Amino acid sequence: MVKVLLVDDDVDLTSLLSQYLMREGFDVNTVQDGEAGVAEAISNDYALVVLDIMMPRLSGIEALRRIRAASAVPVLMLTARGDNIDRIVGLDMGADDYVPKPCTPGELVARIRAILRRVEGRGSATTSAQRVLQVGDLSLWPGSRRATWRGAPLELTGTEFRLLEVLARHSGQLVSKQDISQQAFDRPLARFDRRIDVHISSIRQKLGTRPDGQSWIQSVRGLGYQLLED
């Protein structure tokens, strides 16, 4: 059975969600505060962690930071509906997705399965951590979310890593923003959503320019982006 950890101080909600998840075939454990959630997440072999943002003792954002420092386990954030700041911060720090609260159990299960499909598509955790995605001087290790550029560590946020990984897997090809959103976040691009553009701009700055002065990531207005191979 797939092991899932629920970290939320709302006892009634975690009881409801855990019962539904167990009926759907998941092995579920629950804890009610951030510190206990971090300890449990990094000490046991969970396939995924569901982490609430607003919790006592330790916020979900800080809990995510500590989990990411020790583990690449997929993390799904539970956010207050419309709480864009925490949602964006969570994704940038390495969360795999988010679900606004209140959410239905069916919606949560759908997002969990979508994340697990992405993880399974990369192979086992051990294999993925060792497999490198190489494009010119860029090296990406999706399993461990590590990157190097020209032999030096490349510091990327969680969102930046996912976007660059999509472009690297299609290097030399134009990828539409709609496809980038689907592959990086497993959701369609929302109307007027400029998040991809903002993060691509940040990645460009970190990569610097080509010998000809152009960016390594080319854009075609209204269509998408392309990572140049050399």
Q: For the packed helices 158-169 and 177-185, what is the interaxial angle rounded to 10 degrees?
A: 120
- What is the pLDDT averaged over residues 76-103? 76
- What is the pLDDT averaged over residues 65-92? 78
Q: Check residue 84 and give its pLDDT.
A: 66
Listed in order, the ranges of the chain carrying CATH 1.10.10.10 are 126-227
Q: Check residue 82 and give its pLDDT.
A: 59
Residue pair 8/55 in contact by the 8 Å Cβ criterion: yes
Q: Check residue 165 and give its pLDDT.
A: 93
What is the distance, to the nearest Å, from the Cα of residue 114 to the centroid of all Cα atoms in its chain?
12
pLDDT 10s digits, 104-162 = 899 899 989 988 887 776 554 444 445 789 999 999 988 777 899 999 999 887 788 88
pLDDT tier, 39 (very low <50, low <70, confident <90, very high otherwise)? very high
Half-sphere exposure of 9 (CA within 13 A, CB side): 12
How many other β-carbons are positioned within 10 Å of the β-carbon of residue 213? 6
Q: Check residue 206 and give its pLDDT.
A: 94
- What is the pLDDT averaged over residues 51-63? 88
Listed in order, the ranges of the chain carrying CATH 3.40.50.2300 are 2-121
Residue 93 predicted with pLDDT over 80? no
Task: Indicate the pTM of the whole model.
Answer: 0.64
CA dist., res. 174 & res. 172, Å (int): 7
Q: Check residue 144 and give its pLDDT.
A: 74
> Domain 2-121: which topology?
Rossmann fold (3.40.50)
Residue 57 predicted with pLDDT over 70? yes
26, β-bridge pairs: 2
Candidates 3.40.50.720, 3.20.20.20, 1.10.10.10, 1.10.3720.10; CATH matching 126-227: 1.10.10.10
Give the H or E element holding residue 185. Answer: helix 177-185
